[in-house]
Amino acid sequence: MSRADLPELGASLREAMEAGRPSAAIFAAWPALNDRDPVWRELLQEITTAAGRLHPSVGTSASIHPDAIAVALVDCRGQARHASPRFLDWVGDPGASADCRRLIQKAAKGERGIGLVTAQDGGVLSVLAARREQTVSWRMVADAVDTRPDPRDVLLVAFAPSKSSALVARAVEAIGLTPLEAKLAEALLDAPNLAIAADSIGVGRETAKDALRGAMRKAGVTSAAQFVGRIVDLSCEAQGQVGCDPELLSRAMGLTPAEARVTAAIAGGGDAKTIADDLGLAEETVKSHRRAVFLKTGVNRSRDLRRLISEVAELDRLSSASQVLSDSREGHERLRVIVHEGRRVAFTDYGPASGVPLVVGHGFTTGRLMPKPLLDRCRWAGFRTIIPQRPGFGLTDPAPGDYLLTAAGDLEAILDQLGLESVRVIARDGGVATFLDFAARRPGRLDRPILLNPRSPRGAWRPVTTPMGAISRVLLDRPALIEPFGEMIRRQTRSDLLETMLKHSCAALALDRAIIEDPVVVAHLVRDAQGLMARGVRGFIDEHHAYSQGWAIPGQDPDSLWTLAYSGALFSEPDVKSWRGLPNLRTVAIAGAGLLAAYSHPDEIVALLA
């Protein structure tokens, strides 16, 4: 690329920026990234910085399980055109509800927003009210409301994953609760106190106390309110701690700014004294605000308030997204969540429990889910596949400090939780740094690890033949670009945008192009990337910073055995020089393989484990 081409490229990128598709344009223009002209790099910084500030309604995606919502459609006078059976069960006739009518009146004036509605059972629900045309991205809602479209109609979406037994069961399974603990968890969502919850499931109070203590320990919390909050968060699949904006709580719950700040602090699980210390208030002031919040919201327990806060925050995220998808978790996925040093750590365990444990590391943007061809071969070969979500990726909380130290600690916590002393490993892309760091700290726990198309240390030679490879090189050369680029990716997770990026990424090789034409493969990869990045890109950012700050391969146990495997169609020769410090290294080329080796060459990958 010559400097003469820069004005045209810049105009193209700015036009894509205005159209809300900067990521697609950057991936299409990736060959220009090989040009180290500072003018081009400045243009890239300008576009990515601006794109990182795009409103979520432009290009973000979100997913929701259909059981978590109930919908009703009313005309501008409040007469119901349609109400789902679940909405009638939860709320009743929207026209007969004073809370619903208040929301409908605001939405009819174009004031889209979230409010609280008294439920049929006397509880409180969070409800989104918006003109119908403002919710066109909610395909499941549009499909459910089969009536003549009228743009003046108001759509009501009640959001209450805690009312779904299936979602609560999924949450308690992720934590690993016993059957008794799981029954108690579900009972606590409705019962006013532990004694009534215990009675409802037919156990004594002391038995219930013991079960609650065990469940709280597994969930990594210290109070019943925090425990209920953790269950609701996992039912929503909300990432990390509930980050409640006091302004949102003020609008949705009708609170004063001071009450909203205290309510946001309650979401973190603190008691009155802790909240008072954090906010610089008297403890009695905090208690006074809490009483006022209880009165205004219609709840009278901290755990009910904690549930409501979580559901309001998640509904706000959903309502701001450009695209809201139906959660379609594959049947063989088993999400697990453990707590390590106060942080949530997630991983997927594909089983079976009797198989030889195989830990597979995801990449920068995909790999949270196991591609079916590779998963089938691994199962056939007798392996139990486990995919950890590294810090800041998916549902794992970000690292509070040293990224690699935290990531290695998370991996050790997962292995200890599963009772696994030693595991086979396939590490790929940017995840190799975590596994190498762990292997150096805990010799012997990784059995004959395989590095598949690994990201080389900064400064090492590596041919750039893919968009993500070229982009990563630019990010390492100019670390100031890492954060805005990561934010751009987070705000470009709409399915069509990710599909375009994937197709550009796979354009270099005919075999990859053919595979990516399969709609089943595309859907899997899009969902995979959304699960890793739609809720946050702190991991992407922190991991790139680890490389940019000079990560080097740490010394390893001299008796360990390592395999460097690379896709032969992508690399004419491997970057062996960077990896010579690994003891007993063998190098293997997977002939003909490209980016999608897990789809095209699963047998060859599994053979490396022999």
Q: What is the pLDDT of residues 410-419, one digit of tens each?
A: 999 999 999 9
Is residue 443 domain-shared with residue 556, that is, in the same domain? yes
pLDDT score recorded for residue 546: 94
Contacts of 327 (CB under 8 A, 6+ apart): 63, 64, 65, 66, 237
Q: Is residue 22 part of a domain?
A: no
pLDDT score recorded for residue 357: 98
Name the token pair of 126. 């969070």
144: pLDDT confidence band, cut at 50, 70 and 90? low
The boundaries of the domain holding residue 302 are 246-320
User: Could you tell me if 374 and 602 are in contact, meaning their C-beta atoms sit under 8 angstroms apart?
Assistant: yes
Is residue 475 domain-shared with residue 366, that is, in the same domain? yes
Name the token pair of 471. 């982009």
598 to 364, 567, 594, 606: CA distances (angstroms): 16, 10, 9, 10
Among candidates 197, 216, 94, 73, which has minimal Cα distance to 146? 73
Above 70 in pLDDT, residue 118?
A: yes
Give me the chain's average pLDDT, please: 87
Is residue 339 domain-shared with residue 297, that is, in the same domain? no
Q: Is residue 49 part of a domain?
A: no
Provide the 3-class DSSP secondary structure of residue 373.
Answer: helix
Name the domain boundary from 236, 258, 290: 236
125: pLDDT confidence band, cut at 50, 70 and 90? very high
Is residue 508 domain-shared with residue 382, that is, in the same domain? yes
pLDDT score recorded for residue 184: 93
Contacts of 400 (CB under 8 A, 6+ apart): 343, 406
Per residue in 4-27, pLDDT (tens digit) is 566 777 788 888 888 889 988 888
CA dist., res. 579 & res. 564, Å (int): 8
Q: Is residue 418 part of a domain?
A: yes
Is residue 193 domain-shared with residue 221, that is, in the same domain? yes
Above 90 in pLDDT, residue 543?
A: yes
pLDDT score recorded for residue 242: 45
pLDDT score recorded for residue 140: 58
The mean pLDDT value for 167-181 works out to: 91
Q: Are strands 356-360 and 423-429 parallel, antiparallel or unpaired?
A: parallel
Name the token pair of 29. 């223009």
Contacts of 266 (CB under 8 A, 6+ apart): 225, 275, 290, 293, 302, 305, 306, 309
Is residue 313 domain-shared with residue 350, that is, in the same domain? no
Is residue 421 domain-shared with residue 517, that is, in the same domain? yes
Point out which residues pair with 114 in neighbouring strands. 128
User: Could you tell me if 453 and 565 are in contact, meaning their C-beta atoms sit under 8 angstroms apart?
Assistant: yes
Name the domain boundary from 116, 137, 159: 159
239: pLDDT confidence band, cut at 50, 70 and 90? very low
Is residue 252 domain-shared with residue 132, that is, in the same domain? no
Q: Is residue 479 part of a domain?
A: yes
Point out which residues pair with 383 in neighbouring strands. 356
User: Could you tell me if 54 and 20 are in contact, meaning their C-beta atoms sit under 8 angstroms apart?
Assistant: yes
CA dist., res. 497 & res. 22, Å (int): 9
pLDDT score recorded for residue 336: 93
Per residue in 294-308, pLDDT (tens digit) is 999 998 888 888 888
pLDDT score recorded for residue 574: 64
Contacts of 272 (CB under 8 A, 6+ apart): 283, 286, 287, 290
**Residue linked to tokens 């003020």:** 250
CA dist., res. 36 & res. 281, Å (int): 54
Q: Is residue 456 part of a domain?
A: yes
Q: Which of 9-13, 423-427, 451-455, 589-593 has the lowest mean pLDDT?
A: 9-13
Per residue in 356-384, pLDDT (tens digit) is 999 999 999 999 999 999 999 999 999 99
579 or 7: whose pLDDT is higher?
579
Q: Is residue 99 part of a domain?
A: yes
pLDDT score recorded for residue 565: 94
pLDDT score recorded for residue 238: 56
Is residue 305 domain-shared with residue 254, that is, in the same domain? yes
The mean pLDDT value for 395-407 works out to: 95
241: pLDDT confidence band, cut at 50, 70 and 90? very low
Name the token pair of 70. 């109930």
Q: Is residue 188 part of a domain?
A: yes
Can you give the CATH number for the domain in which 175 is found? 1.10.10
Is residue 413 domain-shared with residue 531, that is, in the same domain? yes
Provide the 3-class DSSP secondary structure of residue 29.
Answer: coil
* Residue 517 phi, psi dihedral angles, 5° rounding: -75, -15
Estimate to the nearest angstrom the gap between the alpha carbon of 345 and the chain centroid. 12
Is residue 451 domain-shared with residue 527, that is, in the same domain? yes
Q: Is residue 402 part of a domain?
A: yes
Specify the length of the chain in residues.
610
CA contacts within 13 A on the Cβ side of 555: 1
CA dist., res. 13 & res. 32, Å (int): 12
Among candidates 143, 174, 2, 1, which has minimal Cα distance to 73? 143
User: Could you tell me if 328 and 524 are in contact, meaning their C-beta atoms sit under 8 angstroms apart?
Assistant: no
Above 50 in pLDDT, residue 240?
A: no
E strands, 204-311, in order: none
The mean pLDDT value for 256-281 works out to: 86
Above 90 in pLDDT, residue 127?
A: yes
Can you give the CATH number for the domain in which 150 is found? 3.30.450
Residue type, 317: R
pLDDT score recorded for residue 124: 92
CA dist., res. 82 & res. 99, Å (int): 18
pLDDT score recorded for residue 7: 75
Can you give the CATH number for the domain in which 312 is found? 1.10.10.10
Total domain count for the chain? Answer: 4
Share of the chain above pLDDT 90, in %: 51
Is residue 460 domain-shared with residue 353, that is, in the same domain? yes
Q: Which of 160-174, 291-305, 572-586 has the lowest mean pLDDT?
A: 572-586
Name the domain boundary from 109, 136, 159: 159
Among candidates 152, 136, 156, which has minimal Cα distance to 82? 156
328: pLDDT confidence band, cut at 50, 70 and 90? low
